[in-house]
């Protein structure tokens, strides 16, 4: 981390940061001080797009998850500089957070923008989107809640589309063509997206809505 990012942790983590305690489920009302809809972003990178969305949608609460501490420090500085109050941050393993401390049916949206594609076939099992991840999203999202993903790897886009489409009892694809949606105005263009575009990668957005169908892990 840069000296500025280290300072951000010291000064601003008490305001914006949430320490991971597997024995303590999150209380979003206590965390944000209101009952506004809660959106989670998994892997927010440097946090620029998350900060922009939080400013655009002040009626939403955002919980950002990122293990890369320089990115967390960068976003802490941005939140403090612009006095953005509807964001809280966690720096721990996303799957542990999602599985252990987020209450079922508590989320209005989950965002997964430009995750690690693990592009080699032998590494596909490491991709975060797997059948158990789809079921976890069905557990955490409210009926009508949205899962929004974006990637500049065509193979990973197809991978995510396949896994979510396989659970059409739980998720409705919001694409008119039953595959990808145009980039919504609500999603700012990210640094990773611009890098992918420079490399000639096409960007694909996927958006699925949680159906009212009940889900049981049994």
Helices (H) and strands (E) in the chain, counts: 8, 7
59 C-beta neighbours (distance < 10 Å), count: 8
Catalytic site includes residue 35? no
Find the catalytic residue in 116, 168, 169, 179: 116
Q: How far apart are CA 215 and CA 218, in angstroms?
A: 9
DSSP letter, residue 189: P
Token pair for residue 12?
């601003």
Residue pair 49/190 in contact by the 8 Å Cβ criterion? yes
Residues recorded for the chain: 218
Q: How far apart are CA 182 and CA 184, in angstroms?
A: 6
Q: How far apart are CA 35 and CA 27, in angstroms?
A: 10
Residue with tokens 């950002």: 64
- Give the residue numbers annotated as catalytic, written as ranges: 116
């Amino acid at each position: 981390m840069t000296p500025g990012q280290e300072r951000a942790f010291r000064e601003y983590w008490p305001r914006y940061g949430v320490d991971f305690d597997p024995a303590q489920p999150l209380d979003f009302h206590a965390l944000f001080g209101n009952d506004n809809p809660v959106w989670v972003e998994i892997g927010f990178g440097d946090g620029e797009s998350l900060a922009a969305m939080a400013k655009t949608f002040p009626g939403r609460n955002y919980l950002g998850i990122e293990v890369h501490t320089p990115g967390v420090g960068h976003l802490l500085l941005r939140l403090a500089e612009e006095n953005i109050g509807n964001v809280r941050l966690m720096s721990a393993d996303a799957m542990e957070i999602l599985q252990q401390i987020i209450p079922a049916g508590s989320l209005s949206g989950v965002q997964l923008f430009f995750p690690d594609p693990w592009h080699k076939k032998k590494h596909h099992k490491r991709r975060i989107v797997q059948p158990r991840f789809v079921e976890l999203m069905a557990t955490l999202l409210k009926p009508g809640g949205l899962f929004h993903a974006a990637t500049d790897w065509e193979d990973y886009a197809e991978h995510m589309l396949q896994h979510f489409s396989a659970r059409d009892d739980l998720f409705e694809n919001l694409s008119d063509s039953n595959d990808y949606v145009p980039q919504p105005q609500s999603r700012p263009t990210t640094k990773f997206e611009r890098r992918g575009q420079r490399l000639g990668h096409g960007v694909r957005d996927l958006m699925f809505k949680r159906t009212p169908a009940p889900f049981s892990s049994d």
